[in-house]
Amino acid sequence: MEAIAPTGLAQSWDNVGLLAGDTTAPLRRVMLAIDLTRAVLEEARRFRADLLLAYHSPIFKPVSSLRTPGGGMDALVFECIRHGIAIYSTHTALDAASGGTNDVLASLCGAKQTGPLEYVDAPGRSECKLVVFVPEDHVDRIASSMFGAGAGRIGNYECCSFRAAGTGTFFGTESTTPAIGKKGRLESVGEVRLESIVPNSRLPDVVTAVRSAHPYEEPAFDIYPLKPSPVRGIGRVGRLVKPASLQSLARRLQIATRAENVQVVGNWKQRIDRVVVVAGAAGTLPFQTALTLFDAIITGEIRHHDALAIRRIGCSAVALGHWASERPVLAPLEAQLREHFKGLSIRVSRKDVDPFSAMGR
């Protein structure tokens, strides 16, 4: 799951990853669902699932107790643990991931060339750049010491550095012992700016290696924290391969998602060229992009005052229902897991259903 939907992509307020379970236990059967409910739990037990991959986190706020019987989520989590069913949640990590919840929903709209509504820092990277100023004839020796201590790795490349020639100056006081030149006078020395990437965890070792290999009494070096490269975050914006009326777009999505409670904001006959996709609850996220008459927000649910704002702006919106907008991701997620684990028995829950039902049901 870290390969499919890295937990570092999740929103800061979210709770994703392995929430309950024995990491040493054998894994044979996995069940996928949007929500952990009593019906899903019983289905998982009959399936003899070792892991329930629940899109929505069953543990969201700090837990003060886990007790059963009871009607709360704590009782369901307790019973999962008691029956040896681990719980893993993906939520906004899967929303942001390539091929995740929002990409799936955007593809159902018929959108192409989609981009995110926001960018986030790439997860898992914690590095800095170490720059040290070195006499010309000591460059290779010091660089070798840095590499040996863990510096200079970029992807699958090792011993990476950058070197630029320049002039360094210093004035040694009476208490100094310069390796080059003499104390008590201003010296100019040909030096090389040597810089390399260093994992934060290896920085103390690399600094020690620099000091040990450097001929100077007081080596001059700088340490710069590096910001990770931005990656695609939550939400998607994309143009439709073929423009459609709001009515036909809403109908297409209703059929594709089997949504029973579709709500529409806007003129049914309005031509839609571009979609702004936010699976689940839209919130204010769609308003981060400039919206026009030919845009439609595609989401699960929209607040009343946001619907009024959409009318004022003049764009459109289709609210499929929170669950219905997220459920389509489970089938491609199942396919990805099957590809990764050939011998694993994986099933999408049949008891995972929309908590809302249409009139007449």
Q: What's the fold here for domain 127-225?
A: Alpha-Beta Plaits (3.30.70)
The token pair at 335 is 């396919």
Mind giving me the DSSP string for 16-79?
Answer: -EEEE--TTS---EEEEESS--HHHHHHHHHHT-SEEEESS-S--SPPS---SSSSSHHHHHHH
CA dist list (Å): 183 to 87, 169, 188, 189, 196: 67, 12, 12, 14, 31
Nearest to residue 105, comparing CAs of 333, 354, 328, 352? 328
Answer whether 17-89+329-348 and 127-225 agree in fold: no
Calpha distance 347→326 (Å, rounded): 17
Could you tell me the residue ranges of all domains in the chain? 17-89+329-348, 101-120+233-320, 127-225
* pLDDT tens string 139-157: 999 999 999 999 999 989 9
- Verify cis geometry, omega within 30 degrees of 0, for the bond prior to 69: yes
In the prediction, which pLDDT does 258 show? 94
Q: What's the fold here for domain 17-89+329-348?
A: 3.40.1390
Q: What's the fold here for domain 101-120+233-320?
A: 3.40.1390
> In terms of DSSP H, where are the helices of 194-351?
203-213, 246-257, 304-313, 322-326, 330-340
Residue with structure tokens 């008590």? 184
Residue with structure tokens 């031509």? 271
In the prediction, which pLDDT does 43 show? 97
The token pair at 274 is 């571009």
In the prediction, which pLDDT does 141 show? 95
In the prediction, which pLDDT does 360 show? 63
Contacts of 193 (CB under 8 A, 6+ apart): 131, 133, 162, 163, 164, 165, 166
Calpha distance 301→41 (Å, rounded): 26
Measured in residues, the chain has a length of 361
For the chain, list residues with pLDDT below 50: none
Please give the model's pTM, rounded to 2 decimal places.
0.77
In the prediction, which pLDDT does 124 show? 61
* pLDDT tens string 166-183: 999 989 898 888 888 888
Nearest to residue 1, comparing CAs of 180, 123, 176, 125? 123
Q: Please answer whether residues 24 and 6 qualify as being in contact, where contact means their C-beta atoms are separated by less than 8 angstroms.
A: no
Phi, psi torsion values for 308, nearest 5 degrees: -65, -40
